[in-house]
Structure 1
Amino acid sequence: MKPTNVTYELCVYEMESQQEVNPVFLQQLRELDIPEEAAKQALLHTQNVSAEEAAMYYFNKLENEEEGDEDLMFKMVFVVNMELSMGVGKVAAQVGHAAVGLYQALQEKNSWREMAWKWDHAGAKKIVLQGTNMAHLLELQALAMSLSLPTKLVQDAGLTQVEPGSCTVLAIIGEEEMVNNVTGSLKLL
């Protein structure tokens, strides 16, 4: 029986993507003296759009590494609406919805894809925290958005334990210090 977790699916996607590197773009990057493995990674991270975009990604990454950017730590936090008194299984499902939704949103912008890649390759740190109520989650989301941090607010369909439209979990990702500016005072779940 095939596992159905997101990690397995992402690994399968990455393996399939690695086989789909555009050979013409790869050759063009090699002609720019970009090492083959780095060229492949750049093409994967830019979704094989063009050799130019992959080259820009590669050279921007080198520039960031020279500036010490590789020392930045990233984390994803999940703030659970404690007012709803959800069961442990419901909380787990809602956090799962938040994680998948936020990760999907990260694929919409190049800078966010880069953040997702750095977060993933630095250990994919995830923290679950307690939020007071829906107003608290909305306040945290507004603060995160004002700091240009990607967020995902999960609203429940209301089929089981909570009312339809209830805000159950807020997910935020970003550089650890920035995320701590938003959620650093909250208690662990």
Structure 2
Amino acid sequence: MESQPLDSESGVDESLVALLLELGIPEAAARQALALTGGHSAEAAAQLYFGSGLDSQEEDDAQGSCYFKMVFVVNMELSMGAGKMAAQVGHAAIGLFQLLQEKSTHRDMINQWDEHGAKKVVLQGSNTDQLLELHALALSLELPTYLVQDAGRTQVPAGSHTVLALMGEEEMVNQLSSTPDIGF
């Protein structure tokens, strides 16, 4: 089997990116679609791009009408009580919001998110591996993230990954949270 040329920084198969560019898909969108589909098929990435609204999302972006969403993924394997979960989601929200405020590039995102209702969603994650996989995927898409590690003073061991918070354009976050490998 012939090896494919990979971009050393992103791990993306550049021959697949080139195929998507030939279809008229912008480079950033091609890389996003490849990341969301596992990076193994130009066909799957093209189907996602044209079939999911990512192409119309770019038109909306060009017109300045982006909607943002904050998502919290709770690690359900830890069997936290309701109060503990609520506290951990609170930690995630504060951590992510502080991270967003530190970077001037994210201020517009915060403002637009707030102007359009400050949408927040809490989802169940199966286990630590799932949170870490989602965290890595979100980072590869350059989405702001905050991963909470517990201090271990109450219900869970110190260092446990309890909640992942992430934020991005609603369409991208929806695609990320419905990725088959993630399985929400």
Offset at residue 66 of structure 1 (A): 9.5
- Structure 2 residue aligned with 1:67: 62
Offset at residue 182 of structure 1 (A): 1.6
Structure 2 residues not aligned, in runs of 5+:
1-59
- Alpha-carbon separation, structure 2, partners of 1:111 and 1:66: 16
TM-score by structure 2 length?
0.63
- Structure 1 residue aligned with 2:52: none
- Alpha-carbon separation, structure 2, partners of 1:149 and 1:131: 18
The counterpart of 2:83, out of the listed 86, 89, 95, is 89
The CA RMSD over aligned residues, in Å, is: 1.8
Moved over 2 A (4+): 184-187
TM-score by structure 1 length?
0.62
- Structure 2 residue aligned with 1:175: 169
Q: 1:66 to 1:183 in 2, by over 3 A?
A: closer
Q: Residue 159 of structure 1: SS of its match in structure 2?
A: coil
The counterpart of 1:158, out of the listed 133, 152, 160, is 152
- Alpha-carbon separation, structure 1, partners of 2:145 and 2:91: 12
Offset at residue 166 of structure 1 (A): 0.3
- Alpha-carbon separation, structure 1, partners of 2:84 and 2:107: 29
Larger Rg: 1
Structure 1 residues not aligned, in runs of 5+:
1-64
CA displacement 1:136-178 (0-9 Å, x = unmatched): 1010001001111000000000101000000000000010111
Identity %: 64
Structure 1 or 2: more helix by fraction:
1
